Structure 1
Amino acid sequence: MFVTKWTKTLENDPIAQAILTPARLYRADEATTTAPRKPGLYGWYFDVIPAGIVAADCHRQGAWTLLYCGISPKRPTTNGRPPSQSHVHQRLRAHFGGNAAGSTLRLTLGCLLETEIGTILRRVGATGRLTFTNPGEQLLDRWLYAHARIVWVEHPTPWEAEHALLASGLPLPLNIEGNPCAAFTAPLSALRSAAKRRAEGMPLIGDSGGPRRAPKQVQG
């Protein structure tokens, strides 16, 4: 393996190694049924790189490229609110079967894939939440089931593990919050902001996203 600053920094970090050298990668249907109902960190690998993402220096496992790491729950706030009770299983279900309003990863990917698969961000329902309207969320479901694989590791304070990964210089081009690499974050932030502005200028619609049905399982 080509040695970089981040490989040397993380080589003795067991949490990082669980993400970087997983025993296996899980399909969407496996992740949404077997992921732990505990706090932790998860890594997203893809066999297709969305247009506009530079992944030449990203970590790879065979044909799969690590593009994103997430955590559940988030770091506790300091404003007196009770800490989140979210866990890895709940968060992965939101990423794989939720909508852009509840998943920043879905929002980012849908904006990147708009031309390819037809995910158009719109304001929907009584609250005007932003989602990829019917059939956009379903199309994104299918893309994720086909092209994403997941690994996770339990951790009592996952925000600390995530910070260590990002601070190491590990390229994670789909991460925005906390990512010190402006070359990754600036274009994604601009892309998402443009999609939101366009949606705000379009009429509110009543689309609920349509019926959601798990896509046919993809082998591999």
Structure 2
Amino acid sequence: MPAEAGAHGWWFREIPGGIDVSGCEQRDGWTLLYVGISPGPPRADGKPQNPQELRKRIRYHFGARNASADGSTLRKSLGVLLGDELGFELRRVGSGKRQTFAGGEAVLTQWMAENATVSWVLHPEPWFLETKLINALDLPLNFQDN
């Protein structure tokens, strides 16, 4: 995985939660359900953007560095869809603003290792790609932008 800026697409062998994938991109038994970018767009307040690059973001989504539903729309979407099947639920922790699947995070990471793969494209300003990709593709796990 590159340590550069770009967009990443998440493909799944098993479809979580019985969602409708009839309009989704499908290739060789894999279905594209989510796209993301790293880093995000420049901040409106002029402060530097998060310098995170594709390698760190993809690893976080896959469960590295204490990943949780709170820091990943992808993990939150998958966990909500798979919680009953895999035996966990979304919970508020700490002050009540942070959300996690607690012990279910490891179960979710294992499910992703067995059922997900990722592709990427490098781009120095990936935020210009994200909206175009979300508008052009049926991406049911991109609930924040659908």
Structure 1 partner of 2:114: 146
Structure 1 partner of 2:72: 103
Q: Any stretches of 5+ residues in structure 2 without a counterpart?
A: none
After superposition, the CA RMSD in angstroms is 1.3
Q: Secondary structure at the match of 1:101?
A: helix
Mapping 1:6-21, distance limit 5 Å: none
Distance between the aligned counterparts of 2:57 and 2:22, measured in 1?
Answer: 28
Structure 2 partner of 1:174: 141
Distance between the aligned counterparts of 2:17 and 2:44, measured in 1?
Answer: 38
Distance between the aligned counterparts of 1:167 and 1:123, measured in 2?
Answer: 31
- TM-aligned CA deviation for residue 127 of structure 1: 4.2
**Dislocated runs of 4+, deviation >4 Å:** none
Identity across matched positions, percent: 46
Distance between the aligned counterparts of 1:68 and 1:132, measured in 2?
Answer: 20
AA matched with 1:153: V
Distance between the aligned counterparts of 2:144 and 2:89, measured in 1?
Answer: 23
Distance between the aligned counterparts of 2:135 and 2:12, measured in 1?
Answer: 22
Distance between the aligned counterparts of 1:166 and 1:121, measured in 2?
Answer: 25
Q: Which of 51, 54, 57 is residue 88 of structure 1 equivalent to?
A: 54
Greater strand share, 1 or 2?
A: 2
Instruction: Name the TM-score, length of structure 1 as normaliser.
Output: 0.61
- TM-aligned CA deviation for residue 52 of structure 1: 4.2
Distance between the aligned counterparts of 2:135 and 2:92, measured in 1?
Answer: 35
Larger Rg: 1
Q: Does the Cα contact within 8 Å between 2:62 and 2:109 map onto a contact in 1?
A: yes
Distance between the aligned counterparts of 2:53 and 2:143, measured in 1?
Answer: 20
Q: Secondary structure at the match of 2:69?
A: coil
Between Structure 1 and Structure 2, how many residues are aligned?
142
Instruction: Name the TM-score, length of structure 2 as normaliser.
Output: 0.91
Q: Any stretches of 5+ residues in structure 1 without a counterpart?
A: 1-34, 180-220
Q: Does the Cα contact within 8 Å between 1:119 and 1:140 map onto a contact in 2?
A: no
